Chain A
Amino acid sequence: GQNIDQPTEMTATEGAIVQINCTYQTSGFNGLFWYQQHAGEAPTFLSYNVLDGLEEKGRFSSFLSRSKGYSYLLLKELQMKDSASYLCAARVNDYKLSFGAGTTVTVRA
């Protein structure tokens, strides 16, 4: 089976930094995706990690440790528009994704 865990909710202040952790236990693993999803909309791609380490893309960075079954998404210089649900998804077989329940991030002024 697949088990993807991430916190349910996080709150932070505009301009701050927030780190969303994700742990996974899956049968088969080919990489870790992070998606952003605003309410009522489809997910949008943020990052994809295959190798261990940190990948930075502007204000968003993603980290992966395959040996620990752990990833995090780092959001810097938070803006109000960053309020959304962030989905951690493990690529378990070919292109099949197994999603975590999502972390709702609320950015406050």
Chain B
Amino acid sequence: GAVVSQHPSWVICKSGTSVKIECRSLDFQATTMFWYRQFPKQSLMLMATSNEGSKATYEQGVEKDKFLINHASLTLSTLTVTSAHPEDSSFYICSAPDRVGNTIYFGEGSWLTVV
């Protein structure tokens, strides 16, 4: 079964609204989680590193005020897309390393469509 779970799998929202995506590690604690974005037929692009108990680290070109990340507990990180626009429509995926770090698990992904 899944070791990293994302919710929701699909979400449609109106332009200008905010959407929250949750990423949970199941049966293990993840002090660090990662958020990726993937556009159709493209590879995964790292957006930010989510750190439990501290601020997220954003990759160059990613607006931290638009993509709010909160790592509230050792098993939950959330990504909030604020003031969403159609160009934010994408596949958002989170990942978390296992305790040893030899395996990095991905969540099921969340499809966001902004209309």
A: residues with CB less than 8 A from B are: 33, 35, 40-45, 48, 50, 87, 91, 94-102
| Closest CB in chain A relative to B35 CB, distance in Å | 12
Task: Kindly state the separation between the CA atoms of A99 and B95 in the bound complex, as whole angstroms.
Answer: 13
A96-B49 CB under 8 A given contacts A41-B109, A43-B106: yes
B46 lies within 8 A of chain A by Cβ: yes
Q: Which A residues touch B91, using CB under 8 A? A: 40
Contact A42 B43 (CB under 8 A): no
Contact A95 B109 (CB under 8 A): no
Contact A42 B97 (CB under 8 A): no
Contact B103 A102 (CB under 8 A): no
Q: Which A residues touch B102, using CB under 8 A? A: 48, 50
B101 lies within 8 A of chain A by Cβ: yes
Q: How large is the interface on B (under 10, 10 to 19, 20 to 34, 35 or more residues)?
A: 20 to 34
| Closest CB in chain A relative to B96 CB, distance in Å | 8
Contact A101 B43 (CB under 8 A): yes
B21 lies within 8 A of chain A by Cβ: no
Task: Kindly state the separation between the CA atoms of A47 and B64 in the bound complex, as whole angstroms.
Answer: 32
Q: Which A residues touch B111, using CB under 8 A? A: 40
Q: Which A residues touch B107, using CB under 8 A? A: 42
| Closest CB in chain B relative to A47 CB, distance in Å | 10
Kindly list 8 other residue pairs between chains A and B, CB separation below 8 angstroms, not including A43-B93, A95-B34.
Answer: A42-B6, A42-B93, A42-B106, A48-B102, A50-B102, A87-B44, A95-B97, A96-B34
